[in-house]
Amino acid sequence: MLDQLTQRLSRVVKTLRGQARLTEENIQDALREVRMALLEADVALPVVKAFIERVRTKAVGQEVIGSLTPGQALVGVVFDELKALMGGNEAPLQLNARPPVVILMAGLQGAGKTTTVGKLGKWLKETKRKKVLTVSTDVYRPAAIEQLATVAKAAGVDWFPSKASEQPIAIAQNALAEAKRRLYDVLIVDTAGRLAVDEAMMQEIRALHDALQPTETLFVVDAMLGQDAVNTAKAFHDALPLTGVVLTKLDGDARGGAALSVRYVTGAPIKFAGVGEKLDGLEPFYPERMASRILGMGDILGLVEAARKEVDEEKAKQLAKKIQSGKGFDLNDFREQIVQLRKMGGMTALLDKMPAQIAQMAGQLPAGSDDKMIRRIQGIIDSMTPEERARPEIIKAKRKQRIAAGAGVTVQEVNRLLKQFDQTQRLMKSLGKGGLKKMMRGLGG
């Protein structure tokens, strides 16, 4: 999959050698390559544009850290953004609702819906130890009901009999009653697929959704359809609140565009990937692994990771030294700390994990401090001159006004920041060696 993108990126790595910094000029060609590769992979144009812009913004001016070549550093940025494009973290199936958890499957004919019902049933049974019942409401194709019976049997999960003469809603309700009566953990409902999105189909699946109130509504779509897959998913999501997408046939010669854009276009996360015709060909979808597979550069990604860690550790060590020596903790260091906090997921995520002293310091930031607040603080410090950062005491009224204007904030906010810094500085001075060690441990440094 995405061999082209992989090849183009390896070329990028080679051509960006020997530059100390990623600049607008030296990454231009590389970005053009990435853009071409994404378009070739059938990623929708608006997605490509947004993606390239994000990579450009993140990459330009970034110092090439540690032992990395500029090309490797750029690959690191591309990797981060690919991962973010696919949703960042994995989106697991919600299985904690009161049983039976109902999973409604939607999709066009031939997408792989029925096969996926079997695969998912097997996966739930074998890896999650769930008792699974399946049912087909596809009364338009008697063969579809038979097909599910066969697939369910092969998957080792139960099948609720239905007939082409029945109403889909009645079938679904009977199956749900049966699932309750016999204490099933999960009920998977297969639905009719059509050749194209049509109103009758939408109405029927909406009615099924109303009757069943499913915990999960999964849209099954063939990755080989590329942009069409994404457009169909969007049409469904506009009509029905999807909780996730299953992307099938990723083992084929799919160009991969669907995997990259479906999340961006629909907002619904990819929860599973179909990777084969057999019943064990279903995998939970991990954006990180996918990004790394697309880049096909496990080795380089390893280097990037290691270099980033090295730099973070080096910075933490320098800061520790500064504090221990009891002098020179200035606004540059304060800013550095804030950047580190942002990297670790913002204040809110961090407060729980922090040792007492640091929590106290964080507590001095205004209530509700979050990523946005941290960014504002960073913005204010960025508007100061190096001298002001080193000697904050020289920041008087005129300078405050200039800084506030530069950062797009009020003078009051600048004042507040200076006060916080003053308090932090005092706290830092009072931190003994033991306290410091504890703090570093707490921060995972």
Site for ligand GDP, rule CB under 6 A: 107, 109-115, 193, 248-249, 251-252, 274-277, 281
401 is in an annotated binding site: no
Least distance between ligand GDP and beta carbon 176 (Å): 21
Q: How far is the CB of 388 from ligand GDP (least distance, A)?
A: 59
Q: Which is nearer to ligand GDP, 276 or 406 (CB)?
A: 276
249 is in an annotated binding site: yes
Q: How far apart are CB 261 and ligand GDP at their closest, in Å?
A: 19
Compare residues 125 and 249 and give the one whose CB is closer to ligand GDP: 249
Dihedral angle, C-alpha 284, 288, 291, 292, nearest 10 °: -110
107 is in an annotated binding site: yes
Residue nearer to ligand GDP on the CB measure, 252 or 379: 252
**CB contact at 8 A, 220 and 112:** yes
What's the helix, strand, coil split of the chain in %, to 5? 60, 10, 30
Chain centre to alpha carbon of residue 111: 25
The smaller minimum CB distance to ligand GDP, of residues 190 and 413, is found at 190
Q: Quick one: which of 111, 108, 17 has its CA closest to 64? A: 17
Q: Residue 156 phi/psi, 5° resolution?
A: 80, 25
Element (H, E) at 328: none
DSSP string, 369-418: --HHHHHHHHHHHHTS-HHHHH-GGG--HHHHHHHHHHHTS-HHHHHHHH
Q: Is 251 marked as binding a ligand? A: yes
Residue 288 CB burial class (10 angstroms; 0-12, 13-18, ≥19): middle
Q: State the minimum distance, in angstroms, from the CB of residue 6 to ligand GDP.
A: 21
Q: For residues 204 and 330, which CB has a smaller minimum distance to ligand GDP in the complex? A: 204
Sign of CA dihedral 321, 327, 331, 334: positive
Nearer to ligand GDP, 55 or 258 (CB): 258
Residue 112 marked ligand-binding: yes
Least separation, in Å, of the C-beta of 192 and ligand GDP?
9
**Cβ 120 vs Cβ 152: under 8 Å:** no
**Was 385 annotated as part of a binding site?**
no
Do you know the residue count of the chain? 445
Q: Would you state the structure tokens that stand for residue 138, as one six-digit string?
A: 């596809």
191 is in an annotated binding site: yes
* 190 is an annotated ligand-binding site residue: yes
Q: Work out how close the CB of 186 gets to ligand GDP at its nearest, in angstroms, rounded to a whole number.
A: 19
Indicate the residue type of 210: D
- Nearest residue relative to ligand GDP (C-beta): 274
Which residue from 84, 13, 28, 8 is spatially nearest to 303, judged by alpha carbons?
13
Q: Closest CB to ligand GDP among 9 and 111?
A: 111
192 marked as part of a ligand binding site = yes
> Taking the CB of residue 412, how many other CB atoms lie within 10 A of it?
10
Cβ 383 to ligand GDP, closest distance in Å?
Answer: 53
Residues flagged as binding site = 107-114, 190-194, 248-251
Q: Which residues are annotated as a binding site for GTP?
A: 107-114, 190-194, 248-251
